[in-house]
Structure formats: structure tokens, C-alpha cells
Amino acid sequence: MDPISPHMTGRLRRAPESFLDAAQIRAVASGRRDFLRGALLAAAGTGAVVTGATAALAQNAGERLITEPQPHATSLGQPVATNGYGQPSRYERNLIRRESPGLTRVAAASVSFSPLQGMFGIITASGLHFERHHQGWHDLDPSKHRLMVNGADEKLLKRPSVFTIDDLLRMPPVSRMHFIECGANTGMEWGNVAVPTVQYTHGMLSCSEFTGVPLRDVLAFCGADTKRGRYVLAEGGDGSGLTRTIPMELVESGEVLLCYGMNGEMLRPENGYPLRLVVPGVQGVSWVKWLRRIEVGDAPYGTREEVLHYVDMMPDGRHRQYTSIQECKSVITTPSGGQTLLDRGTINVTGLAWSGRGKVRRVDVSFDGGRNWQTARLETPILSKCLTRFSLAWRWNGEPAVLQSRAIDETGYVQPQMRQLRAVRGTRSIYHNNAIQSWKIAASGEVSNVQV
Ligand SMILES: Nc1nc2c(c(=O)[nH]1)N[C@H]1C(S)=C(S)[C@@H](COP(=O)(O)O)O[C@H]1N2
Ligand SMILES: [Mo]
């Protein structure tokens, strides 16, 4: 095993970010998905970027880019504040969230996936945060937004109150880094391999620093009876009528936030500006956006989003309800589906691990489909209910390989193999697929999504 060095010898062709043209997207939308893989391979041949230290060194050695003055060294650059709000370089135009063609009938009730294959570290750039809307997004006027806090009956909450965003901004804030994952993430893969890249297998996942007021503090201010009031109902302000029950236990931990800030600025409209609920460790649907009301109650509410959707279909046809915690999970993002190893040599294998129950304790990586495992290096910080980045140097000798990562959290829970999960949960569910992901590397170097 080569040590990690800037002179990694293996070169990698990145995943083609846009693998379908407009006509193909129309075809998929009308029900055809069979040619997806072919389209992906065709796209892989065009305009893909070659990265790697060898390529860069060879190109730079005694080269004109070094020896000759470049235009940017001999001219005046653009003035400050040319862009009042900065944007990524035009050379990074391909790294965007994308909708999976044909997944839903209308784009207002759909999802866009974060491009995990191109991200560094653990924080998701706010513009790349995945989106899930049940009835489209809105850019609300914060001066016209209100949060109402009440009890299901008068005794459950002494002082029903209505708060403005300014009221909440004046209260002592906390800032915490957490992941948010839709319960349906990886949901297309229950039956068999369905989508080609990690953006689509795992991209309903993002991680940010969230700022807001602990809901616990606001309920204390309002005089909530938390002995009898063991549940709260959170209600969104958009037309989808999205409501979810949150156990008071989670609120009492202080982790549940009335959140207005994300990555140092106000929430983006797509993510619930000006107010959303942050429920660390719990599936995304409970992170109610455009939050307009909190009610304290003495029983679970059994709302549409809790009895009809977001229930886990079991092999015997029954449903499991209130399976809200996102169990420990991980995925290798490089190399991943759609990428190509261009030659033998050492590459940095890297990915993300997370657990809705606390910190990630360890991540193991296998190169032979789960027979042998090596422990990966975890990058700091390692935070509770937050993404953790792992890395491991690996020499590819040109032979076919199956890469897997397996995360273990601080409770000792071990991420299951797909077949272990299926043995218990069957194949008909949509939600809470946290199985180990396999990427096959062919002798040609092509990386594809497989199940072993
Ligand atoms: N009001 C409201 N809140 C909502 C939703 C919605 O459609 N309306 N979608 C939920 C779902 S299913 C998820 S996964 C997360 C997605 O949050 P994001 O769009 O910020 O990624 O928001 C949740 N909160
Ligand atoms: Mo979701």
C-alpha cells in the first residue's frame, strides 16, 4: 500500500455530470428508462475531465504555462464587488444539483440530488443542498411570516404565542453542524440497481451548519406542560399541508431547532426561508420548511405524512410506522458510478459516513466485495449526527474489483449488507435503505453500480 502522497499515480476520469440530452430526458419522462446506462457510457466518452497528479506534472514540466507570462499576470483583474454575491467559477458549471429524469410526474413535487461525487469535506455548499418539495418552493417575505405556538388543549400550553422572525432572531442562538437525509434516499435501489451515479443513489443528503433557537427554550417561554405533552406537531406554511409529529424527548434534548440560518447566512428559499425545523438524526420530512405552527399534544398525530407516506412496507405487506431515525450509513464517492480509472496505480478512495444516532466510530473499506476489510482514516471533526469524511489510499492493479464501505456508529451498530437488510425488510419499501453500496471496477477501469 502506497502512503498518501501528492504524487498519487492513478488517474481518474470524473463522472459525466450530465449524461442525458434534452431528447433523452423527454423519452425517460414518457416512461422509457432502458437506455439510461448506454447514454451514461456514451457521455463518459465526451468532454470528461482527466485529473491526477501525473497528468498535471507532465503538462507543467518546463512548460509555457509556467515560463510565459499569462494574460492574468499582465492585465488588470476585475474590481471588487463585481458580483455582490459571489458565484462559483464558470469552470465548475457542471457541479450542480440535478433532478432524476422520470422520477416524478411534476417538478414541483420532486427532488433534486446533491452532487456528492464532486464535493469536498463534509459541508454542502448552500447552492448544492438537495431539495425535496411536496408542492414547490416559495421565496417568502420574512416580515410577513409568523410562527404560532399553541397547545392541543389549554392546559398543555399556558401562553399560546405568535412570533415574528425578528422575535426569534433576538433570542440566544446556537449553531450546529448536522446532516439531513430524506428517508427515501437510496429508495430506488431496494429491488435492484436502478441509477448509475452516487448523485442519484445517495444525493438526497446534505450537511450544513444550522443556526437557530432551541425549540425547548421557546416551549419553556410559552409554558408548555412537557409531562403530559409528550409530542409536538410541526406544520409547514406551503400548500402541501405538511405536518409531522416530533417526540418531546427529542425537543427536550435541546437538539431540535427553530432554524433561520444555514452556513452563516439566512436559509435559502428552497430550504425553507425564513424558518424551518431542524431535527438532527431524523429523516428529512420532519425538518418542516416554511414552518408556521408548533402544537404541543399528548399523543402522536398520525398525519397523512405518517400513516400513508414515510411508512416502511415489510415483506408480509404490513407497514412499520414512525421509523424516523436515519440509521448508520456510508458511501464511497470516489471512485463511484460513472467514473473511470484511467490506469493502474494509487488513488485516494474517499467517501462519507453518518449516523442519526450519534458519531461515526469507524469506517471499513473492502476491495473484494466484502470478504476483506481495511479501516479507513476519518477526517476531523467527527461530530454527532453530522457527515464524517473517510479516506484510504488504494493501489488498483488493473483487475476487476468491488469496492464497499461499512460504517459503524458509537452505539456499535454496523451498517448492513444489502442482502442482510433485504432478509428483514424485503424489497418493496421505499424508505430507510442504509445498505452497504457496492461499486464495481471493471478491467477497463469503468466504475458501475452493482449489488453483490
Ligand atoms: N413545508 C414543507 N416542509 C418540508 C417539505 C415540504 O415539501 N414542505 N419536504 C420535506 C422533505 S420530504 C424533506 S426530505 C426535506 C428536504 O429539505 P431540503 O429541501 O431543504 O433538502 O424537507 C421536508 N420539509
Ligand atoms: Mo423526504
* Lowest mean pLDDT segment, chosen from 37-41, 64-68, 244-248, 429-433: 37-41
Write out the three cell numbers for 139: 421565496
* Phi-psi category of residue 283: left, alpha or beta, with phi > 0 → left and psi -120 to 50 → alpha: beta
- Ligand positioned closest to the Cα atom of 305: 1
Residue ID of nearest Cα to ligand 1 atom 16 = 132
CA atoms within a 13 Å half-sphere pointing along the CA-CB vector of 101: 21
Q: What is the pLDDT of residues 3-29, one digit of tens each?
A: 556 566 788 876 554 445 556 656 655
Among 179, 202, 289, 304, the mutation site with the greatest number of ligand 1 atoms within 8 A of its Cβ is 289
Q: What is the pLDDT of residues 80-109, one digit of tens each?
A: 999 999 999 999 989 999 998 778 888 889
As for ligand 1, residues whose beta carbon falls within 6 Å of it are 129-134, 180, 182, 236, 238, 240, 242, 270-271, 284-285, 287-290
Strands 291-297 and 146-151 come out as parallel
In terms of Cα–Cα distance, which of 331, 352, 324, 321 is closest to 432?
324
Dihedral angle of Cα 85, 88, 93, 98, to the nearest 10 degrees? -70
Q: What is the pLDDT of residues 192-248, one digit of tens each?
A: 999 999 999 999 999 999 999 999 999 999 999 999 999 999 999 999 999 999 999
Split at pLDDT 50, 70, 90, the class of 148 is very high
Counting atoms of ligand 1 from 1, which one is nearest the CA of 270? Answer: 19
Going from the Cα of 231 to the center of ligand 2, the distance in angstroms, rounded, reads: 21
Going from the Cα of 284 to the center of ligand 2, the distance in angstroms, rounded, reads: 5
Model confidence at 292: pLDDT above 60: yes
Q: What is the pLDDT of residues 116-141, one digit of tens each?
A: 999 999 999 999 999 999 999 999 99
Among 205, 285, 431, the mutation site with the greatest number of ligand 1 atoms within 8 A of its Cβ is 285
Q: Could you give the CA distance from residue 113 to residue 200 in angstroms, rounded to a whole number?
A: 6
319 Cβ contact list (under 8 Å, min separation 6):
311, 312, 313
61 or 72, greater pLDDT? 72
Q: What average pLDDT is seen over the chain?
A: 90
Q: Could you give the CA distance from residue 266 to residue 388 in angstroms, rounded to a whole number?
A: 24
Going from the Cα of 183 to the center of ligand 2, the distance in angstroms, rounded, reads: 5
Model confidence at 51: pLDDT above 70: no
pLDDT at 63: 82
Going from the Cα of 263 to the center of ligand 2, the distance in angstroms, rounded, reads: 21
- Ligand positioned closest to the Cα atom of 240: 1
Q: What is the pLDDT of residues 353-410, one digit of tens each?
A: 999 999 999 999 999 999 999 999 999 999 999 999 999 999 999 999 999 999 999 9
Counting atoms of ligand 1 from 1, which one is nearest the CA of 129? Answer: 21
Q: What is the pTM of this model?
A: 0.90
Going from the Cα of 64 to the center of ligand 2, the distance in angstroms, rounded, reads: 51
Model confidence at 58: pLDDT above 70: no
pLDDT at 49: 42
Give Rg (Cα) of the chain: 23
Going from the Cα of 115 to the center of ligand 2, the distance in angstroms, rounded, reads: 17
- Ligand positioned closest to the Cα atom of 271: 1
pLDDT at 167: 98
